[in-house]
């Protein structure tokens, strides 16, 4: 039997390149702290000889990644609900690569604090093997959840004015 468990925590920073009332397009840089634990247990029987063995190993891989991120605010004049996604990755210069793509929905609790839930469409770590080392290919996918705190400005709320001030232009 084999059991493999992985946990990915990814603190990061985001810079908005284009920011509008209805959403933004930005660049996200994060450090994926992937903690993976694996165990293997086996039993075999050949003729009258029975053998068994087991082993386990865990490792923490800090993997940097960078890529585009977007968010759209579907409610008119509100940033309380958002739909977003990102694609991040990093090559390891001949040793392998790390790629991650996700989509999520966010709900604003306060002006700067959001709760996000979504789906990790794929998070893949690929390390190429050599003659004396085994190759590693780990793929994570499934539900994701997180808390987001924004230190920057949130999109400004539009104020609806039924009587706008007169314009300097007259026809």
The pTM assigned to this predicted structure is 0.67
Residue 65 has a pLDDT of 92
Distant-in-sequence contacts of 100-107, Cβ < 8 A, 24+ apart: 100/32, 100/65, 100/124, 102/144, 104/144, 104/146, 105/81, 106/71, 106/81, 106/82, 106/148, 107/80, 107/81
Residue 115 has a pLDDT of 94
pLDDT above 90 (res 6): no
pLDDT in tens, 12-57: 898 999 988 888 999 999 998 888 888 989 898 888 888 898 988 8
Mean pLDDT, residues 4-16: 85
Residue 98 has a pLDDT of 87
pLDDT in tens, 98-133: 888 999 999 999 888 999 999 988 778 787 777 777
Beta-strand runs (E) in 21-127:
23-46, 49-72, 81-91, 96-108, 113-127
Residue that wins the pLDDT comparison between 153 and 98: 98
pLDDT in tens, 77-93: 788 899 999 999 999 88
Tokens of 14: 């985001």
């Amino acid at each position: 039997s084999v059991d493999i468990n992985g946990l990915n925590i990814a603190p990061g920073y985001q810079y908005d390149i284009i920011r509008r009332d209805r959403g933004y397009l930005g660049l996200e840089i994060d450090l994926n702290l992937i903690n993976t634990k694996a165990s293997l247990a086996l039993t075999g029987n050949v003729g009258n000889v029975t053998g068994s063995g087991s082993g386990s190993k865990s490792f923490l891989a800090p993997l940097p990644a960078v890529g585009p991120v977007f968010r759209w605010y579907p409610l008119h004049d509100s940033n309380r609900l958002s739909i977003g996604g990102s694609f991040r990755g990093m090559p390891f210069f001949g040793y392998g690569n790390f790629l991650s793509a996700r989509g999520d929905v966010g709900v604003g609790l306060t002006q700067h604090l959001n709760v996000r839930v979504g789906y990790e469409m794929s998070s893949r770590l690929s390390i190429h093997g050599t003659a004396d080392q085994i190759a590693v290919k780990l793929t994570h996918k499934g539900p994701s959840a997180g808390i987001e705190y924004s230190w920057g400005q949130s999109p400004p709320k539009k104020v609806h004015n039924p009587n706008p001030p007169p314009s300097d232009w007259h026809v």
